């Protein structure tokens, strides 16, 4: 293999194929290969035994297994075109060679013939006589369908096996149930909601955009969060609603929680911990009677904003029980960027209402006994989901609980923190607000972008890419010495960039896409403003992400890396090298 190339790794459908195993120099290799072939649904035909006793040993190992065929003959090149299925003109579909190293000439002959016949071939311990290599694979014994494959491309099978073991060990103990549950929900939802439209081209296209299908390495992930107008959905969008929501659950929810997601949680109305919340954001009648003594403006169907009327001192003092609430910023993702105040609130809460974008590293800090609810802010449900969170928080407060509204980044930077402060205050529960490191500025730091720097950038502007009801926000004027950060913009980068260019923004200005800032899978993509939509379309999306535009983007970067043109439109840096796993003494905060 050329050093500058990487192999194309695929999940192969081998059902009913005939795979030819030549030689039994290593019985362990032959046995393991045959067993894997049978598990894949193919037929393992073994020929050219190194010793006659090998045939007897294999016959005992695979007694009663019709998919293992033992041919006690010396191997001949003619076997390649006579032992296969009639549907493929008797040509075998895959060849595994397991011969002693002193049979190199025979290995070469088999390899050359396989290349001529376009038969994939693997020769044990001889990559020069191989067109493919089996890789270290974990197959879930619970038959969930989960497989994890690792290769170091010849750098050492021991290392590949160790990496595989450590990856598997890091998964939740209920990962099998999670995969099975997600698959069952997907099948049920597609059947129930989409069966009548399944032949429709646009529906199939939509399903592919949601990450369904067999092409797991290549799907339009940047369209997962595409805009859906909540209160004017088309018939197809309505039918795909639960499908889209399930895709969001798979993408954002902690892996350990996927095993317990129910079909009811993907509906507008569902019951959670005995509290029913309707699609209009109402509580059950019994709960609403409790609120009758606390007059407030009812949230309208198309708005989650409470009234901004001045609060009287009397309403501020009203409180049902001893409940308390705090609005807490959890920072961009890394535990190292979580404040001590936020950690204290997380550890001492009774009920945590978390944004779906709060990363698993932060959620993992929550003690098991604390009730956690993750926002259902899926496309086409953002406003209703906000109402749902507000009402669940209010119920918790009326029950005397300590409620923590855990928000990604900072509560007040496009986090609806002000709206939530007003809502709970109007009901007699004045929130304590704990700031968090905002992703709008921490992301620039981890991306080596000085938001301000003398002679480069003398001002910073933080904007949203998605306004009320999905509308574009007011487009700011272009200032060459400004660093502009656009949040919630990548899913509609084409529309945003077009609007910026119409407002005379410089198309050649440097731009950086920052995704999963401070998380282990952080990705930083540098480009030019005019290329942003094309780049997003090509590399996909890894939410949460944002866009930074301005000359400061390249202030600390080697200029040679930022020479972009039609042949090279972007430069990617993967991973976060900061403090991800800092040792924390949590004894002061409880277990």
Active site positions, annotated: 355, 377
Q: Are 568 and 514 in contact (CB under 8 A)?
A: no
Q: How far apart are the first and last CA of the chain?
A: 51
Helix (H) or strand (E) holding 445: helix 439-446
* Six token digits for residue 301: 């169907």
482-487 and 402-407 beta bridge pairing: unpaired
Q: Is the dihedral of CA 63, 15, 79, 121 positive or negative?
A: negative
Q: What Cα–Cα distance (Å) separates residue 160 from each residue in 153, 171, 521?
A: 9, 17, 20
Strand partners, 325: 403
Neighbouring CB atoms inside 10 A of 147's CB total 10
* Six token digits for residue 369: 């006994």
Q: Are 47 and 73 in contact (CB under 8 A)?
A: yes
* Six token digits for residue 521: 């899978």
What is the CB-side half-sphere exposure of residue 186 using CA atoms within 13 A?
17
Distance, CA of 341 to CA of 222 (rounded, Å): 35
* Six token digits for residue 570: 């972007």
Q: Are 505 and 463 in contact (CB under 8 A)?
A: no
- Report helix, strand or coil for 127: helix
Classify the phi-psi angles of 482: left when phi > 0, otherwise alpha if psi is within -120 to 50, otherwise beta. beta
Q: Are 530 and 549 in contact (CB under 8 A)?
A: no
Strand partners, 122: 96
- Residue 275 neighbours by CB under 8 Å, 6+ apart: 283, 284, 287, 392, 395
- Report helix, strand or coil for 35: helix
């Amino acid at each position: 293999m050329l050093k500058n190339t990487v192999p194309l790794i695929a999940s192969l459908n081998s059902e009913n194929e005939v795979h030819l195993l030549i030689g039994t120099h290593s019985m362990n290799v032959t046995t393991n290969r045959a067993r894997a072939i049978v598990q894949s649904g193919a037929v393992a035909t073994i020929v050219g035994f190194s010793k006659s006793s090998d045939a007897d040993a294999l016959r005992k190992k695979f007694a009663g297994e019709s998919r293992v065929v033992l041919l006690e003959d010396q191997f001949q090149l003619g076997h390649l075109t006579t032992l296969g299925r009639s549907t493929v003109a008797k040509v075998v579909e895959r060849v595994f060679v397991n011969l002693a190293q002193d049979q190199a000439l025979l290995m070469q002959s088999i390899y050359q013939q396989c290349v001529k016949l376009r038969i994939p071939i693997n020769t044990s311990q001889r990559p020069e006589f191989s067109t493919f290599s089996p890789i270290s694979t974990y197959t879930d014994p619970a038959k969930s369908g989960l497989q994890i494959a690792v290769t170091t491309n010849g750098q050492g099978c021991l290392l590949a096996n160790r990496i595989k073991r450590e990856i598997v060990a890091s998964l939740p103990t209920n990962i099998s149930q999670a995969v099975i549950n997600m698959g069952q929900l997907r099948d049920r939802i597609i059947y129930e909601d989409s069966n009548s439209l399944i032949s429709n081209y646009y529906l199939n296209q939509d399903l592919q955009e949601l990450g369904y299908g067999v092409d797991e390495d290549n799907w339009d992930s940047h369209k997962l969060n595409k805009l859906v107008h909540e209160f004017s959905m088309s018939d197809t969008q309505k039918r795909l609603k639960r499908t889209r929501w399930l895709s969001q659950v798979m993408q954002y929810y902690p892996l350990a929680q996927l095993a317990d997601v129910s079909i009811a949680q993907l509906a507008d109305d569902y019951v959670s911990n005995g509290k029913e919340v309707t699609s209009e954001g109402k509580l059950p009648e019994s709960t609403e009677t409790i609120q009758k003594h606390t007059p407030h403006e009812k949230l309208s169907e198309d708005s989650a904003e409470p009234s901004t009327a001045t609060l009287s001192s009397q309403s501020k003092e009203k409180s049902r029980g001893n409940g308390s609430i705090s609005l807490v910023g959890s920072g961009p993702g890394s535990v190292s960027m979580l404040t001590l105040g936020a950690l204290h609130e997380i550890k001492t809460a009774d009920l945590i209402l978390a944004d779906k974008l709060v990363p698993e590293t932060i959620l993992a800090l929550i003690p098991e006994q604390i009730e956690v609810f993750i926002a259902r802010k899926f496309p086409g449900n953002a406003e209703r989901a906000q109402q749902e969170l507000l009402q669940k928080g209010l119920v918790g407060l009326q029950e005397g609980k300590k409620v923590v509204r855990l928000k990604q980044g900072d509560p007040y930077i496009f986090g609806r923190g002000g709206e939530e402060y007003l809502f709970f205050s109007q009901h007699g529960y004045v929130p304590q607000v704990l700031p968090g490191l905002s992703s709008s500025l921490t992301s620039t730091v981890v991306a080596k972008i000085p938001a301000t720097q003398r002679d480069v950038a003398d001002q910073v502007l933080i904007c949203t890419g998605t306004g009320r009801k999905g509308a574009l926000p007011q487009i700011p004027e272009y200032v060459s010495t400004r660093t502009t950060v656009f949040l919630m913009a990548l899913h509609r980068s084409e529309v945003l960039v077009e609007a910026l260019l119409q407002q005379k923004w410089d198309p050649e200005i440097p731009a950086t896409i920052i995704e999963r800032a401070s998380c282990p899978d952080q990705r930083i993509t540098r480009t030019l403003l005019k290329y942003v939509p094309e780049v997003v379309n090509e590399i996909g999306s890894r939410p949460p992400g944002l866009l930074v535009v301005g000359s400061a983007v390249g202030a600390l970067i080697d200029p040679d890396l930022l020479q972009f043109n039609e042949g090279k439109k972007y430069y990617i840096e993967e991973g976060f090298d900061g403090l991800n796993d800092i040792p924390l003494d949590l004894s002061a905060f409880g277990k």
